[in-house]
């Protein structure tokens, strides 16, 4: 068993972190306050090669293996303070680009995938509905075949990137009596008749990642834009969620490393009672716990990458990594606020923003409760 990364992977992580620090952090406090999407930063990430990391060269990707991709995303998270930006990039990579690669036709991949990798297009994923959150397949959005088109009706909510997206993968029920076997996936372009984005959704954290509802009223989608086969929507969704659960929090792992470094620096410089607070056992204990959480989360994350590279079933470990990483991020962010004391409660030290951003990790891509249900089923419980 090998626990070391090779020199190339370590170099990629460092390059991604250096790029992010230099190119993506300017004006983050203002963007977070206003909820502004960093379109220029999105394009710079695409030009750097982030969007195309694990994708084939023929679509503008760099064909990186999954562990190398995770390393790059970890580096991006370490260097970039704009968690909303990199959350949006992750959402596109795993829930739009990966389904296109694995289930799309050659024409769909040529038309869309290369333009997503290059940053020309922005993608969004529509699954959740106002009345179906964790019960993802209990959807009311319907689709029916009408000649050379499918006609969709329904509303989606909590759609990351929706206000700025050009392209949408939307799930709808083609056979309401067929249960999950009736669900299909469709590729929708923004200007299709009967399609629009609804109200924008303000959030506690990840404010620079825009979110909105999608509304379809007799929306006409060309039959050629069916993604996969009819009734394959549940498989496509589960596949994309497994990728997302295993990979989306690699950036959060990098953020935890950045946060720990910042806390060590602060505790070494901040004095109380004529000594640095890092010398107080209570503060040292918190720093140690932050380190332990980070390293345990790292082992689980790369366990998923290792298994995926070998074509093994990763459902259990992806769920475990999602729970461990998301909850470790929240607790470490709370510890960081406590270490900074009153300053941690202010916006000046940027610690409170990390806390706000971390909370979403326990909710998106399946709540912690859903992940525990997945683990329980895999254990036969």
Tell me phi and psi for residue 124, to 5 degrees. Answer: -140, 155
**Helices 250-269 & 281-309 angle (0-180, nearest 10):** 160
pTM (whole model) above 0.75: yes
Separation CA 93–CA 227 (nearest Å): 16
pLDDT confidence band for 133 (50 / 70 / 90)? low
Q: What number is the average pLDDT over the span 21-37?
A: 96
Judge whether residue 151 has pLDDT over 70. yes
Each residue's pLDDT tens digit, 246-273:
788 899 999 999 999 999 999 999 999 9
Given a contact cutoff of 8 angstroms between Cβ atoms, the answer to whether 154 and 195 are in contact is no
Yes or no: say if 151 and 107 are a contact pair by the CB < 8 Å rule: no
pLDDT at 1 over 70: no
User: Mean pLDDT across the chain, nearest whole number?
Assistant: 94
Q: Is residue 2 part of a domain?
A: no
Distance CA 36, CA 38 (A): 6
Q: Give yes or no: residues 16 and 44 share one domain.
A: yes
Residue 134 has pLDDT above 60, yes or no: no
* Residue 242 belongs to some domain of the structure: no
d(CA 17, CA 13): 6
- Among 171, 205, 231, the domain boundary falls at 231
Q: Residue 316: enclosing H or E segment and its boundaries? A: helix 315-340
In whole angstroms, give the CA distance from residue 380 to residue 47: 45
Q: Is residue 237 part of a domain?
A: no
Question: Catalytic residues, which ones?
Answer: 244
Closest among 159, 143, 156 to 219, alpha carbons compared:
143
Q: Are residues 89 and 129 in the same domain?
A: no
Domain count, the chain: 3
Tell me: do 263 and 371 sit in the same domain: yes
Antiparallel, parallel or unpaired: β 123-126 and 167-173: parallel
Least confident of 3-7, 19-23, 153-157, 188-192: 3-7
Beta bridge partners of 151: 144, 220
Q: Which DSSP symbol is given to 277? A: G
- Same domain? For 292 and 372 the reply is yes
* CATH classification of the domain holding 348: 1.20.140.10
Contact 17, 76 (CB under 8 A): yes
Contact (Cβ atoms closer than 8 angstroms) between residue 151 and residue 144 = yes
Residue 139's nearest CA partner among 151, 148, 131, 147 is: 131
The range of the structural domain enclosing residue 159 comes to 124-231
Query: Over 90: is that where the pLDDT of 243 sits?
Result: no
Angle at 107 between CA 104 and CA 110, to 5 degrees: 90
Instruction: Calculate mean pLDDT across residues 8-24.
Output: 96
E strands, the chain, in order: 123-126, 142-146, 149-160, 167-173, 183-189, 195-200, 211-222, 226-227, 271-272, 275-276
Q: What is the pLDDT of residues 311-345, one digit of tens each?
A: 998 889 999 999 999 999 999 999 999 999 999 99
- Domain end position, chosen among 121, 154, 176: 121
pLDDT interval class at 180 (50, 70, 90): confident
Say yes or no to pLDDT of 280 above 90. Answer: yes
Q: Which residue has the higher pLDDT, 131 or 16?
A: 16
> Is residue 118 a contact partner of residue 53, using CB atoms and an 8 Å limit?
no
Residue 134: inside a domain, yes or no?
A: yes
- Percentage of the residues of the chain whose pLDDT score is greater than 90: 87
Percent of residues, the chain, with pLDDT higher than 70 = 98
321 and 344 in a common domain: yes
pLDDT in tens, 56-100: 999 999 999 999 999 999 999 999 999 999 999 999 999 999 999
Q: 197-237: per-residue pLDDT in tens?
A: 999 999 999 999 999 999 999 999 999 999 999 999 999 99
Nearest 10 degrees: CA dihedral of 209, 213, 218, 220? 10
Position 136 scores a pLDDT of 59
Calpha distance 280→115 (Å, rounded): 53
CATH number at residue 150: 2.40.110.10
Q: Is 181 within the bounds of a domain?
A: yes
For residue 137, what pLDDT band results from cuts at 50, 70 and 90? low
Query: Where residue 25 sits, what CATH number does that domain have?
Result: 1.10.540.10
């Amino acid at each position: 068993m090998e626990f070391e990364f090779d020199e190339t992977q370590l170099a990629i992580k460092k390059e991604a972190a250096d790029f992010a620090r230099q190119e993506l952090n300017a004006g983050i406090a203002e963007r977070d306050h206003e909820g502004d999407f960093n379109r220029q930063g999105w394009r710079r990430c695409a030009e750097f090669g982030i969007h195309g990391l694990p994708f084939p060269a023929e679509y503008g990707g760099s064909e990186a293996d999954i562990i190398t991709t995770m390393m790059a995303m970890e580096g991006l998270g370490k260097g970039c303070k704009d968690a909303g930006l990199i959350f949006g990039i992750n959402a596109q990579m795993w829930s739009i680009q990966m389904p296109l690669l694995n289930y799309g036709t050659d024409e769909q991949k040529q038309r869309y995938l290369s333009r997503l990798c290059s940053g020309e297009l922005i993608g969004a994923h529509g699954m959740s509905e106002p009345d179906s959150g964790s019960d993802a397949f209990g959807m009311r959005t319907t689709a029916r075949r009408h000649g050379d088109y499918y006609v969709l009706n329904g509303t989606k909510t909590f759609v990351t990137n929706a206000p700025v997206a050009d392209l949408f993968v939307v799930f709808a029920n083609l056979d309401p009596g067929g249960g999950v076997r009736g669900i299909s996936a469709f590729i929708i372009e923004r200007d299709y008749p009967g399609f629009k984005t609804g109200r924008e959704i303000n959030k506690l954290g990840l404010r620079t990642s825009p979110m909105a509802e999608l509304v379809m009223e007799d929306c006409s989608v060309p039959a050629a834009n069916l993604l996969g086969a009819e009734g394959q929507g549940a498989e496509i969704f589960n596949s994309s969620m497994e990728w997302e659960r295993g990979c989306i929090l690699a950036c959060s792992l990098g953020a935890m490393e950045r946060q720990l470094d910042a806390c060590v620096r602060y505790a070494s410089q901040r004095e109380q009672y004529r000594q640095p607070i890092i010398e107080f056992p209570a503060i040292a204990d918190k720093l140690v716990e932050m380190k332990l959480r980070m390293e345990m989360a790292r082992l689980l994350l790369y366990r998923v990458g290792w298994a995926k590279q070998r074509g093994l079933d990763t459902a259990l470990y992806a769920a475990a990594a999602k729970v461990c990483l998301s909850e470790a991020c929240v607790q470490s962010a709370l510890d960081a606020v406590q270490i900074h004391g009153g300053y941690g409660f202010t916006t000046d030290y940027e610690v409170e923003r990390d806390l706000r951003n971390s909370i979403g990790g326990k909710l998106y891509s399946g709540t912690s409760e859903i992940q525990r249900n997945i683990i329980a089923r895999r254990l036969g419980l």
